[in-house]
Chains A and B, each alone.
Chain A
Amino acid sequence: MPIRDFFRREHREGEGAPGGPDIPENLWIRCENERCKELIYTREFEKNLRVCQKCHHHARLGARERIAQLLDPDSFREEDADVRPADPLGFASAGQSYRDKLAETQQKTGLPEAIVCGSGRIEDVSLRVAVADFAFLGASMGSVVGEKVARAVERSIESRLPFLAVSSSGGARMHEGIFSLMQMAKTTALIGRLDQARVPFISLLTDPTTGGVTASFAGLGDVILAEPGALVGFAGPRVIEQITKQKLPPGTQRAEFQLEHGMLDAVVHRRDLRPTVARLLRLYGGGPRAGWAHSANGKGV
């Protein structure tokens, strides 16, 4: 067979014939890292968990994608999907009501709110997860995020299954004003209960995790992990630069910076997240007080 036949494809309807009506625009993808911009074959990129093979830039993941990557196949059972936001202030911005903004965002993202919670398994270790989605209003912590985190932690305590929070957040949900601020106190009070119950809490910080989320539940993991390059902090770099009128050196507030400053336990490459989380839970589950581990899936760990 002539070699060029390898490159000849049977073009079927809808499969992106060159110049045809259905070109998949996402056949190739460009690395978002300004200093890389490598053109990557999308299928390779997906196989590589949306990490650039050349520069190891970790692209942001939606909550569903994250869950699909991180948990054992088909192990996820979503909970509290019906918790819906309200508009306690009657907030409007630029002529658009908060309710309309929410409807538009829900439509755009296919998500009811900025966090997805439920139970699942990682390498057969059962756990509860709460996974933020930055595409939903910057995964800002409004009342629904606070309530869903609270419920997830309560279920963790009840079921004695470890809690994994995968955070990303731009901070507060301004449209909910003081109710947004109070979610910091609420989620943190729950983490206090989890702590007392001696159920492990692993907090995974992804790009970017800032503001009230870092300064509440996400900052209180027994173990705090972050993905490489993730922006982690309280004030965002733009705010710092505005206030101090100084340009921040590159790398400031990135995961590696935070590791160096003692805020994190480890920076973990995306491909190593599953084994790392599972190993941690097995290790903590091996102690004499790990009542939580043995109720896991009837298998122990």
Chain B
Amino acid sequence: MGPLSQRERGLILPSTEDRLRLKPEDSPADATSRRGARPATAPLAHAGAVVERPPSALTPWEQVQLARHPERPYTLDYIGALFEELVELHGDRLFGDDPAIVGGPARFEGRSVMVLGHQKGRDTKENAHRRFGMPRPEGYRKALRLMKQAEKFGLPIISLVDTPGADPTLPSEERGQALAIAANLLEMARLRTPTIAAIIGEGGSGGALAIAVADRVLMLEHAIYSVVTPEGCASILWKDVGLAPEAAASMKITADDMARFGIVDGIVPEPAGGAHTDPATAARALGDALRCTLEELDRVYGVGEALDAERLLHDRFARYRRVGAIDGSDE
């Protein structure tokens, strides 16, 4: 499978049109489809019928190309389309500001929230600045600062995930990349405010997870989520980056896989051919999914002063406590 020389090839497939997908005007409760029941959290179980979708017509490697499509909407595109009054906050108060992570308080559907996410660059110059959305420790520490602030002021957190992985360079190592990620994982597991993460493009490794531990995790239809990039996997296991397409298939990294494994709670449908073909529709679908997920969290855990934080933390802990596949377990 070649790189994405012809954008349409393999992307707008006839079967894509035929896929069961929900339009934004459908009831918001149905804006997310889900497979693979996870009764213990049953996050979206109330949200109407589970929508069964035929298996994707795309190969996993084609999904990778779509998730990385240079015209795919990025975090700031979605924020621009779905959020109002964003005040972008900067800096980790320790070392610097990392443009690979953006965020701040904003209004979503009339309500104050904290929104943050990885930000890739649109061109070479911007990518030099944002390092392709690969955060350094100061990015993770900024994200944590924003999340702690959200907790302090009782704002729900919406986190948009789109990174190949954490920045793997010496400056990041010198400033404690591993410990910055670990600190986020620790704190996100116990933030006393509702949290939603949405994988909008690449969910790459610990660099993605460091802002993706949440009460509910959504995933765009053509996003990917993996423990390491397909190239990394191919290089480590087979010493051949050229085998990345095989690695992409072996690792099971598509939205359908994640729903089946119970790693994500809902799949957000994309316009036929991928989010980049119609960013406005893609944003509307994500907006619908975020709104109905927030409403569901409100109903289950209460809002503002009435928030049952103990139960929220209990359920979030349970979600991550049970994840894994051991022999004799049900996975």
**Interface residues in chain A, defined as those with a beta carbon under 8 Å from any beta carbon in chain B:** 83-89, 91-94, 143-144, 146-147, 150, 171-174, 176-186, 188-193, 195-196, 210-212, 214-220, 232-235, 239-240, 243-244, 246, 248, 252-253, 261-263
Contact = CB atoms under 8 A, between A and B. Distances in A.
Contact of A86 (B206, B323, B329): B329
Given A186-B320, A235-B169, A239-B232, 18 more contacts: A83-B326, A85-B327, A86-B331, A94-B238, A143-B324, A172-B205, A174-B233, A177-B227, A178-B225, A178-B251, A179-B325, A183-B323, A186-B323, A215-B185, A215-B210, A234-B178, A240-B173, A243-B168
A211 B178 CA distance: 7
Contacts of B206: 181, 184, 211-212, 215-216, 234
Interface of B: 166, 168-170, 172-179, 181-183, 185-186, 189-190, 205-206, 209-210, 213, 225-228, 232-233, 236-238, 250-253, 257-258, 261, 263, 317, 320-321, 323-329, 331
B331 A93 contact: no
A233 B209 CA distance: 17
A4 B186 CA distance: 65
B182 A177 contact: no
A93 B252 contact: no
Contact of B227 (A87, A174, A262): A174
B189 A174 contact: no
B209 A89 contact: no
Given A215-B182, A240-B169, A181 B324 contact: no
A238 to B, nearest CB: 9
A141 to B, nearest CB: 10
B310 to A, nearest CB: 13
Contact of B205 (A181, A210, A246): A181
Which of B183, B226, B321 has the most A CB atoms < 10 Å from its CB? B321
B53 to A, nearest CB: 19
A202 B163 CA distance: 32
A235 B173 contact: yes
Contact of B237 (A93, A181, A195): A93
Contacts of B327: 83-86
A240 B326 contact: no
Which of B177, B182, B237 has the most A CB atoms < 10 Å from its CB? B182
A93 B250 contact: yes
B131 to A, nearest CB: 11
Given A215-B206, A234-B206, A143 B325 contact: yes
Which of B177, B178, B257, B327 has the most A CB atoms < 10 Å from its CB? B178
Contact of A182 (B175, B179, B181, B263): B263
12 contacts: A83-B327, A91-B251, A171-B228, A174-B236, A176-B227, A185-B189, A191-B186, A196-B190, A211-B178, A219-B179, A234-B206, A240-B168
Closest 4 CB pairs of A and B: A235-B168, A143-B324, A88-B325, A219-B182
A240 B173 CA distance: 10
B176 A147 contact: no
A182 B261 CA distance: 11
A144 B226 CA distance: 18
Nearest to A93: B237
Given A89-B250, A219-B178, A181 B189 contact: no
Given A85-B326, A215-B177, A178 B186 contact: no
Contact of A220 (B175, B186, B236): B186
A147 B189 contact: no
Given A89-B251, A215-B177, A220-B182, A177 B321 contact: no
A182 to B, nearest CB: 4
B261 A174 contact: no
Contacts of A232: 178
A195 B326 CA distance: 26
Nearest to A145: B324
Contacts of A244: 169-170
Given A177-B251, A234-B178, A235-B177, A188 B189 contact: yes
B236 A240 contact: no
A233 B178 contact: yes
Contacts of A173: 227
Contacts of A248: 170
A93 B210 CA distance: 28
Given A172-B228, A181-B227, A234 B320 contact: no
A94 B233 CA distance: 13
Nearest to A171: B228
